[in-house]
Structure 1
Amino acid sequence: MKIALLQLEVLEKNKEANVAHGLQLAAEAAKKHDLLVLPEVWTTGYSLGHLEQEAETPASPVLAQLAEIARNEQCAILAGSVPMRHADGKIYNTSAAINKNGEIVNLYDKVHLFGLFHEEDFFAPGNNFQAFTLDGLCCGSTICYDLRFPELFRHLALQGAQLIFCPAEWPEARGDIWRLLAQARAAENHTFVVAVNCAGSFKGAPFYGHSMVVAPSGKILAEAGMQEEVVSCEIDLADVARVRSRLNALADVRKELIQ
Structure 2
Amino acid sequence: MSSLNVFLIQTPLVWENPVANRARLQWHLSQTMPNSLVVFPEMFSTGFSMNPEKVAETMDGETVQWMSQMSQDRMICGSLSIRENDLFFNRFLAFYQGKLVAQYDKRHLFSYGGEQNFYQAGNQTCVFEFQGFTLAPFVCYDLRFPAWIRKTVLQSTPIYPDILLFVANWPSARISAWDVLLKARAIENQAYVIGVNRVGNDEKGIAHNGHTQVVKYDGEYLLEPHQREAIAHIFLEKSPLVQFRERFAFLSDADGF
What is the rounded CA distance, in whole Å, between the counterparts of 1:247 and 1:7 in structure 2?
Answer: 33
Instruction: Compute the displacement of 1:85 (Å).
Output: 1.1
Kept after mapping to 1: 8 A contact 2:133/2:238: no
Q: Secondary structure at the match of 2:199?
A: coil
- Give the superposition deviation at 1:234: 0.7
Q: Which residue of 2 aligns with 1:122?
A: 118
Residue 152 of structure 1: CA displacement?
Answer: 2.0
Partner-residue secondary structure (3-state), 2:152: helix
The whole-number CA distance in structure 2 between the counterparts of 1:167 and 1:18 is 16
Whether the 8 Å contact between 2:6 and 2:234 is mirrored in structure 1 is: yes
Q: TM-score, normalised by structure 1?
A: 0.90
Instruction: Give runs of aligned pairs for residues 235-246 of structure 1, distance below 5 A.
Output: 235-246=236-247
Is the contact between residue 42 and residue 167 of structure 2 (CA under 8 Å) also seen in structure 1? yes
| Cα distance in 1 for residues equivalent to 2:46 and 2:102 | 21
Alignment of 1:1-259 (within 5 A): 1-26=4-29, 28-31=30-33, 34-49=36-51, 51-71=52-72, 74-78=73-77, 80-86=78-84, 88-99=85-96, 101-158=97-154, 159=156, 160-202=160-202, 203-255=204-256, 259=257
Q: Which sections of structure 1, spanning at least 5 residues, go unmatched?
A: none
| C-alpha separation in 1, matches of 2:123 and 2:139 | 13
Over aligned residue pairs, what C-alpha RMSD do you find?
1.6
Matched position secondary structure for 1:200: strand
Q: Which letter maps to 1:48?
A: M
Greater CA drift, 34-43 or 232-241: 232-241
Partner SS for 1:12: coil
Q: CA deviation at 1:169?
A: 0.4
TM-score (norm 2): 0.91
Q: Describe the SS at the equivalent of 1:104.
A: strand
Deviation of 1:20 (Å): 1.8
What 5-or-longer segments of structure 2 have no aligned partner? none
Whether the 8 Å CA contact 1:19–1:43 is kept in 2: the answer is: yes
CA deviation vs aligned residue, 1:65-109 (integer Å, no higher than 9, x gap): 2222221xx21112x1100112x321100000112x221111100
